[in-house]
Chain A
């Protein structure tokens, strides 16, 4: 095993930069380890025994004929990330039996790169459907650019239910479902009102977004990152830009760091307000639904007044911001009005018995399952897991903000509601603090990526942890971009709360998870 460390923020880019660079959070380093395939299982067992957690697994071609697997790992809080690098020169064992959340990442690598893992407990396609005609995995270096993987028929994997018999009915729902929603197909196996088993068929929306980055100039990648998950535009752009800044040894000016935190919290605000309105809708609280949607609209209109975009797009760039923003003197007052309204709304929701009755005990997620299957964001925090990248691996101006991380132990839809409601409060406090302390100065620093480098960037999006791995080739262009979105994690977990539950609770439970499909499918 060999180890070396590259740090989140380098101070070597010049004497001037070094003088103004903020202190390095030690937990933001990435410690690299080279592992042989036969060392993976034992190392994973050791990691889990020490309280560590796998964050994502991906593959890339380190040379045209040389595939490399990369495992990004969190250790206990306050410790740096670890990156395990493994060349599959011998059969690679699946880690899904001992670390279930890895299962989807391995299947994705199999679909996109053609590498098969030994003894995988779910040896099936994930990204591609049964009807997809995959002549060759699309991430092979010699894959013809633009050759489509066509999909014929509506064939899909249908799980077998052992001992079920004829009484069990199968309800396939989707991919075109009622109302204005994203496309996905849900399979319910049910008897009467009881759901025995639930299987979401996702990836109808797989657009090949990671491939779309390849060959681009790193500065141009931000526009793509903003369009991976529209309602997470800031988080995606931020995680991407931070990865590029790390591999460029670029220090972002303080004013840009503060404004980035402001934008990230504004994104959290409109997403969480939407969440409350949607949750009220599923509990048939019509006035509550209208109020949530109205507050979301007001938040989006503030977004546009500040940035020109209701989704806070076209502002971030590697090195800082594309242009300065001027929130002083008007935004604070508007946010305070919105805070008062949101606070009254949340209080009213919390006093409504019919609303609480539908949430309490609904969709219970056990803390152990949440951890093992990889739950993230408000979902894991509602099951008692106290993690938040804004605090645990600080970025933007979060080190200087009064961040509170609400955690609930209940694990049900009510706990997930409470976590998000408390996060709305916390966001308002941080936004006002940002407006108070926003320093003057430039908003952009030069950011020139060094050739043949790689780095990670991350953000705590409204839905949880988001990671970008960015590889730059010898000519300074993007060679590989891997995206781990929070919904990819939470969709993996969600079915565990649906099996053996009640049909009438399904919509409420789904709303309480606050999932997106675009981010998961990419």
Chain B
């Protein structure tokens, strides 16, 4: 045992101070949601809409196209970050980006819109800002989201430093963090977990599957994510969302960071 104490001491601190200090978010090189630049679209080109595996990109009805949103309807709540659209786009209207921080309190913030609505001021969640307890439920994920959620407690991210904790029982939980498209077999256990939580209680849809069903949506075995299953207070698409994206979304929820996302794009000025 003494061996390990010495080993740990010699290792020193490896925890990042991001986002509250100057440290790294650890996401160098990570590709996020493709950026959409409607002005660059070629007339009549449907390449991205045809290749998108989750219909995150669809063609606008002509009447809508003239209002400034361009020819495409882009819903980042459906995007699985597969980058296929950026590869087939001939003009650069859809470009790879590092925009992975897509946490938002309203579903409509995830949809590209010409007129980006004003940033929503997060509800004051008095009493929870410095201490939030999270119960996670896997409602049929691919285990990618769990891998990143588990990474939140590794020494690099060290979620506890931010006053955010995973709790074993829904009885002690403030936030229900759900991953997966909600399989039919997990529907009732998920509802039961929610019912077991004391009020006030909130729900986070983490990962594109939980937001919209993702790649597995529909079929005989699963649904389309959390909408129509539970009231969602926080959306975070991503496939999977990385640990920094999860941290940022949780801090937005607690009004400790501003939401940078509206109209389906991140305001990089802030």
* Chain A contacts to B: CB under 8 angstroms: 129, 132, 138, 143, 145-154, 175-176, 178-183, 203-209, 211-212, 216, 220, 223-224, 226-231, 233, 274, 277, 285, 287-288, 290-291, 293-294, 296-298, 300-301, 304-311, 313-314, 322-323, 348, 351-352, 354, 516-519, 521
Contacts and interface: CB of A to CB of B under 8 A. Distances in A.
B204 interface: no
B221 A208 contact: yes
A223 B80 contact: yes
Nearest to A138: B220
B220 A182 contact: no
Given A212-B215, A301-B26, 12 more contacts: A148-B220, A150-B184, A151-B185, A151-B188, A207-B181, A227-B215, A227-B239, A229-B142, A231-B144, A287-B5, A287-B8, A310-B30
Interface in B116-145: 136-145
A109 to B, nearest CB: 16
A218 to B, nearest CB: 13
9 closest residue pairs by CB, A with B: A230-B144, A178-B168, A208-B221, A308-B31, A293-B154, A518-B143, A138-B220, A230-B142, A207-B216
Nearest to B9: A287
Interface stretch (B41-49, B82-90, B257-265): B82-90
Contact of A223 (B31, B82, B168, B223): B82
A314 B186 contact: no
B78 to A, nearest CB: 13
Given A178-B168, A183-B189, A231 B220 contact: no
A518 to B, nearest CB: 4
Contact of A183 (B31, B137, B156): B137
A223 B84 contact: yes
Interface in B64-98: 80-84, 87, 96
Nearest to A288: B4
B154 A297 contact: yes
A230 B4 contact: no
Interface in B1-45: 1, 3-5, 7-8, 11, 14, 26-31
Contacts of A206: 140, 183, 185, 221
A308 B96 contact: yes
7 contacts: A179-B168, A180-B166, A204-B189, A211-B220, A288-B4, A304-B28, A311-B147
B1 A354 contact: yes
Contact of B3 (A138, A209, A226, A348): A348
Contact of A205 (B14, B27, B83, B141): B141
B216 A208 contact: yes
B214 interface: yes
Given A176-B189, A223-B215, A227-B142, A297 B156 contact: yes
A291 B84 contact: no
Contacts of A138: 219-221
Interface string B135-170: 011111111111111110111110000000010111
A244 to B, nearest CB: 16
A176 B192 CA distance: 10
Interface residues of B, number: 72
A227 B214 contact: yes
B52 to A, nearest CB: 10
B218 interface: yes
Contact of B221 (A148, A229, A230): A148
A500 B9 CA distance: 41
B4 A348 contact: yes
A438 to B, nearest CB: 19
Nearest to A300: B151
Contacts of B157: 297
A146 B222 CA distance: 9
A277 B150 CA distance: 11
Contact of B220 (A149, A227, A298, A322): A149
Contacts of B137: 176, 183
Given A223-B215, A301-B26, A132 B185 contact: yes
A290 B155 contact: yes
Contacts of B84: 223, 314
Nearest to B96: A308
A205 B188 contact: no
A191 B188 CA distance: 30
A352 to B, nearest CB: 7
Nearest to B207: A230
Nearest to B239: A227
A84 B229 CA distance: 44
A24 B177 CA distance: 49
Nearest to A133: B184
B193 interface: yes
Contacts of B183: 204-207
B1 A231 contact: no
B216 to A, nearest CB: 4
A313 B153 CA distance: 23
Contact of A175 (B155, B169, B189): B189
Given A293-B154, A296-B154, A297-B156, A180 B136 contact: yes
A310 B148 contact: yes
A352 B83 contact: no
A233 B188 CA distance: 29
A204 B143 contact: no
A150 to B, nearest CB: 6
A143 B219 CA distance: 10
A370 to B, nearest CB: 24
Contacts of A521: 140
Given A204-B189, A293-B153, A294-B154, A287 B4 contact: yes
B212 interface: no
Nearest to B151: A297
A307 B30 CA distance: 8
A348 B144 contact: no
A132 B221 CA distance: 10
A298 B156 CA distance: 9
Nearest to B30: A304
Contacts of B145: 230
Interface hub of B14, B146, B170 (most chain A Cβ within 10 A) = B146
Given A183-B140, A314-B83, A290 B215 contact: no
Contacts of A322: 83, 87
A314 B220 contact: no
A187 to B, nearest CB: 15
Contacts of A519: 143
Nearest to A152: B188
A223 B239 CA distance: 11
Contacts of A149: 184, 220-221
